[in-house]
Amino acid sequence: MRQSQLFTKTRKSAPKDEIAKNAQLLIRAGYIHKEMAGVYSYLPLGLRVLNNIMRVIREEMNAIGGQEITLTALQNPAPWKKTDRWRDDAIDVWFKTELKAGGELGLATTHEEPLTALMTEYINSYKDLPRYVYQFQTKFRNELRAKSGIMRSREFVMKDLYSFSRNEQEFREFYEKCAEAYKKIFNRLEIGEKTFRTFSSGGTFSRFSDEFQTVCDAGEDTIYVHKEKGIAVNKEVYTDEVLAELGIKKEELSEAKAIEVGNIFPLGTRFSDALGLKFKDDKGAETPVVMGSYGIGPGRVMGTIVEVLSDEKGIIWPKEIAPYQAHLILISGGNKDVIAEADRLYDLLAEHGIETLYDDRDARAGEKFADSDLLGIPTRLVVSEKTLAEGGVEVISRKTGATTLVSESAIIQTLVGKQGA
């Protein structure tokens, strides 16, 4: 992508009513556009980042046996009424609408009901289990007060996986496997060191569940971290009884603000009982399916990464999810030889499959470097009269600021090595 052809532009300031750092930086950098409170559009660069986050999640869900589908956002009230969750006092963030022909529909806040109902057509025998089904789907939540930028919005993409197991033991085995997959995801996204599996309330589904909380001052939750064990306890269940059950002491914990980036929790047989999802075991007896739910919000993760990894100059993207692998900066001063060299390098990178944003704009060097810092692409390549005279390309790390001069013949190997590091 040539930056001169990119329709989005950077800006010096974000909307005055936007107080969340993640939204301020993402809007200024041209990654997202604020449509209204709690509703954001993803622009070309932002969509590339979002899709890369989804790719990482998809790879890890597929690795543990997940099968991807897409369910509808429009919801038939019937299955929700069977579980008694169509009522606004059961789920208080419903968006509902009237059909012109009569009747009511909802915009999904979650998908336990429709998927459980769907699986009654495909699960009949113990031989049909276990099954693990997931999707990336737009959710709608009528939040009273949308805040925290893209970390808490009224319309957002959610990865929700649901497990269907024969018994509690089989469910628990997958539950732990999914917890490990989540750790891999957050490690690949470079927030693993700050993200803790957190003992939390199970809400209406079970006594306890697990959240994955990333320590950050912008977080809405308070957790108590046991760094040696790599776990934490949410403030809502921070009691002597729970600590004793976990085998930890208060003095071993440190208090921190955190952002919930994922959760996994047992559903038991609540939905399978209500919606008739049963199977015949090896003795022919009908048994309800044991279920679990596993969520990650890619947009919320994206916002969290900006909150945690940015600096005073702008965003710093992890290499796995950056919109481009390299940001090529042309500083020509009108020198045709420098322009030709930058064009040649851009073509060379494309030939080797290195996705590059090429800043070929007629703009001052300071403006280009400031924009590059704001955009946060991991590796900056500078071609100028100086680098041309020195016979190389200036390679700058956005994360560390380290600068090296690399010959054009070695630039591909240098970038491939950085991607694999």
Kindly list the domain boundaries of the chain, sorted by start residue: 3-309, 326-420
**pLDDT at position 421:** 44
Separation between Cα atoms, residue 45 and residue 32, nearest integer Å: 8
3-state secondary structure of 379: strand
Helices (H), 75-154: 77-82, 112-119
Closest listed residue to residue 274, CA positions, set 74, 411, 81, 68: 81
Separation between Cα atoms, residue 176 and residue 179, nearest integer Å: 5
3-state secondary structure of 63: helix
Separation between Cα atoms, residue 25 and residue 4, nearest integer Å: 21
Separation between Cα atoms, residue 218 and residue 307, nearest integer Å: 7
**pLDDT at position 203:** 66
Instruction: Give CA 136 to chain center in angstroms.
Output: 11
Place of tokens 């945690």: 308
Closest listed residue to residue 261, CA positions, set 198, 310, 314: 198
Confidence of residue 333 (pLDDT cuts 50, 70, 90): confident
Return mean pLDDT, the chain.
Answer: 94
Q: The whole model's pTM is what?
A: 0.94
Tell me the pLDDT tens digit for each residue of 58-88.
999 999 999 999 999 999 999 999 999 999 9
The residue count for the chain: 421
Asked if pLDDT for residue 407 goes beyond 80, the answer is yes
Separation between Cα atoms, residue 277 and residue 356, nearest integer Å: 49
Tell me the pLDDT tens digit for each residue of 125-152.
999 999 999 999 999 999 887 778 888 8
Separation between Cα atoms, residue 419 and residue 317, nearest integer Å: 13
In a 13 Å sphere around the CA of 410, the CA atoms on its Cβ side amount to: 11
Tell me the pLDDT tens digit for each residue of 261-293.
999 999 999 999 999 999 999 999 999 999 999
Tell me the pLDDT tens digit for each residue of 347-393.
999 999 999 999 999 999 999 999 999 999 999 999 999 999 999 99
Side chain identity at residue 53, one-letter code: I
Determine phi and psi for 358, rounding to 5 degrees: -105, 110
- H or E stretch covering 397: strand 393-397
3-state secondary structure of 60: helix
Separation between Cα atoms, residue 369 and residue 377, nearest integer Å: 12
Separation between Cα atoms, residue 196 and residue 11, nearest integer Å: 35
Domain 326-420, architecture per CATH: 3-Layer(aba) Sandwich (3.40)
Closest listed residue to residue 406, CA positions, set 348, 355, 321, 363: 348
Asked if pLDDT for residue 419 goes beyond 70, the answer is no
Asked if pLDDT for residue 207 goes beyond 80, the answer is no
For 5, 84, 87, 153, the CA distances from 91, given in Å and listed in that order, are 45, 10, 6, 16
Residue 178 · residue 160 · CB < 8 Å: no
Dihedral angle computed from the Cα positions of residues 149, 297, 74 and 164, in that order, rounded to the nearest 10 degrees: -160
- β-strand partners of 195: 214
Out of 1.10.443.10, 3.90.76.10, 3.30.930.10, 3.40.640.10, the CATH code matching 3-309 is 3.30.930.10
Q: What crossing angle do the helices spanning 336-351 and 408-420 adopt, rounded to 10°?
A: 40
Separation between Cα atoms, residue 377 and residue 45, nearest integer Å: 10
Separation between Cα atoms, residue 62 and residue 54, nearest integer Å: 12
Beta strands in 79-237 (DSSP E): 95-98, 104-107, 131-140, 155-165, 195-201, 208-215, 221-226, 231-234
Q: Do domains 3-309 and 326-420 have the same CATH topology?
A: no
